[in-house]
Structure 1
Amino acid sequence: MSGFHCGVDFGTTNSTVGLCAAGADPFLIPVEGEQVTIPSALFFSLEDGSVHFGRSAVHEYMDGAEGRFMRALKSILGTSLMKETTQVGRDRMTFQGLIARFLRHLRTRIEAEQGSLPESVVLGRPVFFVDGNEAADRTAQDQLEAAARAEGFRHIEFQYEPVAAALYFERELNAEALALVVDIGGGTSDFSVLRLSPERSRATDRRQDILSTSGVHVGGTDFDRQLNIAKVMPRMGLGSRTRDGKRHLPVWYFNDMATWHKINQLYAPKTMRDIQALKREAAEPEKLELYEHLLTYRSGHRLAAEVEKAKIELTDAEAASIRLAEHGFLLDVPVSRAEFDTAVDELVHRIGTAIDTALANAGVAAEAIDTVVMTGGGAQVPVVWQAAVARFPHAQISQSDRFGAVGLGLAVDAARRFA
């Protein structure tokens, strides 16, 4: 490995791999073509048995290839789903095995870049994989470690993702600062209050500089989900009543169709039978026909991708459209930024509460924070950005590498630990 040490950021939405030699600058290696980021997605083709990763996986799925598409697997760590298996072609695989399969792809990219696989690696992890459940959180880390070990990594350490982002930012400092790192990822939001300085950066053990960490299981995919539920699923039947007016249709079908890692489970014969039965007793059966289309053509993830696209467009625009046209099916749902903000209000409130918790746990007031380091794709959402920085009008706001800061910081940490 020519003296390079490795950090792997296996993210809910995107992943990166960083390398760093002792005393040198870290860098990200290409993990898909020339790209240094890769969507954390897999596609298992039923046509030729091939396996695709990242953008290639998304393209195969969006292009209508026959197969199984998996995304946001990190959000399953620590949940009951990890104990189950899922059908992939002719085989049934565990979700831990699926995560290991993605890590194998990252391993091959490291080997292609450097000629061999480092035995030691620092893996990133959110402050909380699972909110309010220490046992499940520990289980989630153990599951990720087991998946990495199965793919050849022998000495595995973990670092909190916001701490890793701070380690990368710290290299730019010329004086001591009290920093709050705000890391809004695809599945989790993490916050850390840290003491940073050029002198402290030379220490191998930084535990005394981490004044507090807090986190919440809220991220970019949750914003997508809430927008989907608020604007799209009512077109599919959410909130509708039965013909006799006595009850609403069950909500879980719609909630699951808006949740990335649950969509695949809906593509079962029983779900189709349920929806067809509901259609016969629904006051608005034409709405359920739209839902039935999603099942027939396995279009749930394509719809979710359009919801995500609209969310991203609303970063710079006041209005967007969620549009899906296929197989004689047309859905076109206009959405404004104000509607989006309303849909995600509860999530933003949870993020704000977690920031306040980080400050309280550190025993510092908002006025004491010198720098706010913003990282993660979800941090670009205007309502999230505003909620995060509003408490710190006096502080320097640092826009860190949106997708690469954690991977780079993990590589810095690896060089410090293993050199």
Structure 2
Amino acid sequence: MTHCAIDFGTSNSAVALPARAFRPVGSGAATPPADGAGVPAGGVVRLVPLEGQAVTLPTAVFFDADNNRIDYGRAAVASYIDGIDGRLMRSMKSILGSDLIERTTDIGGGRGIPYIGVIATFLRHLKAKAEAAAGKPLTQVVLGRPAFFVDDDPERDIAAQTALAAAARSVGFKEVAFQFEPIAAAFDHESRLDHEQLVLVADIGGGTSDFSLVRVGPERAKRLDRRDDILGHHGVHVAGTDFDRRVALASVLRPLGHGSVGPDGKPVPSGVYFDLATWHLINTLYTPRRIADLAGTKHLYADRAQHARLMRVLEDQLGHGLLGIAEDTKIAVAAGGSTRVDLSLIERELALDFDEAGLVQAVDDEIARIVGAATETARLAGVGTDEIDAVYFTGGSTGLRLLTERIRAGFPKAQAVTGDRFASVAVGLGIHAGRLFGG
């Protein structure tokens, strides 16, 4: 076996190998994930551990200018949060199809690298992890691609795929093929069918919510070219990070003064709280000038304890940790119920309660936009909502019960099918790689 499959995602990435390609345990290779960890379709493929035993890796690269080192995934994010001098790159997939692809970006220490080189750097890391697991060089790859890299611009869409293929070849892949991500996501479902179905694939991740209307079935599964099976595609740039932001504003930032009023009855300035709820803006709050400016707003707070907590978060650089607590809070109530949110990192015994009703109120507008995109996908394809046989859910944010229920309600006759939220695309790409390259 000399092939692998790579799901190069906007938020997270994963790599699949044929199940029998893993080196035996004890031979120096990383132990493959246990059965059930992203191993559908008869276990013909398995996911490669990319960071410890984690089979998904945040799509992030940090160029450490101080130590002339490159960090990946969670380590990259940690280096950025720790304030190490350098450059963090996330959501690199969005560069494809843009005019940035040929430009150079500063990575610190007076050095620069083309944006396409950043993508190649990340692909090289994924390839090395896959080769370590397989114990041999890998020269063939199937890469996932969205239904459209760029909407309504076929030339730029082709240019995006061409650039990604060139990046893959530059790191040593001699044969590069592509499969549409929504088709790949539905492969596991397709493998269990004995008849044709019209399926709405709902891929709701960290940055975008994408919907594709596809035809699947045992006869169609025999075809390598599945372009004609995609009847429609639509999406919105609303997803998990937007939920986290809204939950942070509705919960963990309240004890710091968000939504409160001053002695004059006027709301306290909200800008600092929106920055604290936005991952890439948090570090901008830690500059001496910004801290000094915010320290001078104490008189605007009727509850001075709230201002004191705000300043403690800024001075001790607790913002990213606080946003992580907000994400954990969302996950804790995503399937219903309530949770007690521990904020003792700010103040001893500080805590608050948060429940599903609070979550609904916080993210209702975002959910409405996502549900609207789902039904719009069917409309654009000229298909009635009652003609759809199944809705296939994948992506990390599909763990939010109220979101999936509202999407399902828009397609009254459709069966709800839940795939692996984090791995179904990678596994489907691995299945396609086996069909294409053998094994």
* TM > 0.5 fold call: yes
1:6-64: per-residue Cα shift (whole Å, max 9, x none)?
A: 2222345543111249x993321222333323344667889988766556677x689x9
Q: What residue in structure 1 maps to residue 211 of structure 2?
A: 191
* Greater shift in the superposed pair: 179-188 or 35-44: 35-44
For the residue of structure 2 that corresponds to 1:349, the secondary structure is helix
For the residue of structure 1 that corresponds to 2:235, the secondary structure is strand
Q: 5 Å matches for 1:9-20?
A: 9-20=7-18
Distance 2:153 2:269 in 1: 32
Question: Please, what is the CA RMSD of the aligned residues?
Answer: 4.1
The match for 1:337 among 318, 336, 356 is 356
For the residue of structure 1 that corresponds to 2:253, the secondary structure is helix
For the residue of structure 2 that corresponds to 1:325, the secondary structure is coil
For the residue of structure 2 that corresponds to 1:335, the secondary structure is strand
Distance 1:274 1:227 in 2: 26
The match for 1:7 among 5, 10, 29 is 5
Q: 5 Å matches for 1:17-416?
A: 17-20=15-18, 25-40=44-59, 53-54=72-73, 67=84, 73-74=90-91, 77-78=94-95, 96=115, 102-126=122-146, 151-153=171-173, 156=176, 158-239=178-259, 249=269, 251=271, 253-279=272-298, 286-326=305-345, 328=347, 331-416=350-435
Distance 1:135 1:51 in 2: 33
Give the direction of change, closer, same or farther, for the CA distance of 1:116–1:87 in structure 2 (3 Å limit). same
1:208: Cα distance to partner? 1.1
Structure 2 gaps, min length 5? 20-40
Give the direction of change, closer, same or farther, for the CA distance of 1:108–1:269 in structure 2 (3 Å limit). farther
1:336: Cα distance to partner? 1.6
Q: Is the 8 A contact 1:57 1:69 kept in 2?
A: no
Q: Is the 8 A contact 2:92 2:119 kept in 1?
A: no
For the residue of structure 1 that corresponds to 2:313, the secondary structure is helix
Give the direction of change, closer, same or farther, for the CA distance of 1:331–1:337 in structure 2 (3 Å limit). same
Distance 1:153 1:363 in 2: 40
Distance 2:86 2:340 in 1: 24
Distance 1:93 1:331 in 2: 45
1:62-106: per-residue Cα shift (whole Å, max 9, x none)?
A: 9x9775899992278349999896887x67777957665544432
Give the direction of change, closer, same or farther, for the CA distance of 1:329–1:56 in structure 2 (3 Å limit). farther
- TM-score relative to the length of structure 1: 0.80
Q: Is the 8 A contact 1:127 1:190 kept in 2?
A: no
Q: Is the 8 A contact 1:15 1:39 kept in 2?
A: yes
1:165-195: per-residue Cα shift (whole Å, max 9, x none)?
A: 0133212211111111111112211111111
Give the direction of change, closer, same or farther, for the CA distance of 1:108–1:190 in structure 2 (3 Å limit). same
Give the direction of change, closer, same or farther, for the CA distance of 1:128–1:196 in structure 2 (3 Å limit). closer
For the residue of structure 1 that corresponds to 2:275, the secondary structure is helix
1:242: Cα distance to partner? 6.8
Which amino acid is 1:19 matched to? Answer: L
Distance 1:247 1:398 in 2: 45
- TM-score relative to the length of structure 2: 0.77
Rg larger for: 2
1:334: Cα distance to partner? 1.9
Which amino acid is 1:77 matched to? Answer: S
1:304-339: per-residue Cα shift (whole Å, max 9, x none)?
A: 111111111102342123333236566423212111
* Greater shift in the superposed pair: 301-310 or 158-167: 158-167
Distance 1:139 1:219 in 2: 26
Distance 1:196 1:70 in 2: 43
Q: Percent identity between the aligned chains?
A: 39
For the residue of structure 2 that corresponds to 1:333, the secondary structure is strand
Distance 1:93 1:340 in 2: 43
* Greater shift in the superposed pair: 311-320 or 96-105: 96-105
Distance 2:331 2:86 in 1: 22
1:365: Cα distance to partner? 0.9
Give the direction of change, closer, same or farther, for the CA distance of 1:37–1:366 in structure 2 (3 Å limit). same
1:393: Cα distance to partner? 3.3
Structure 1 gaps, min length 5? none
Q: Say how many residue pairs are matched.
A: 412
Bigger RCO of structures 1 and 2 (CA < 8 A, at least 6 apart): 1
1:384: Cα distance to partner? 0.6
* Greater shift in the superposed pair: 310-319 or 115-124: 115-124
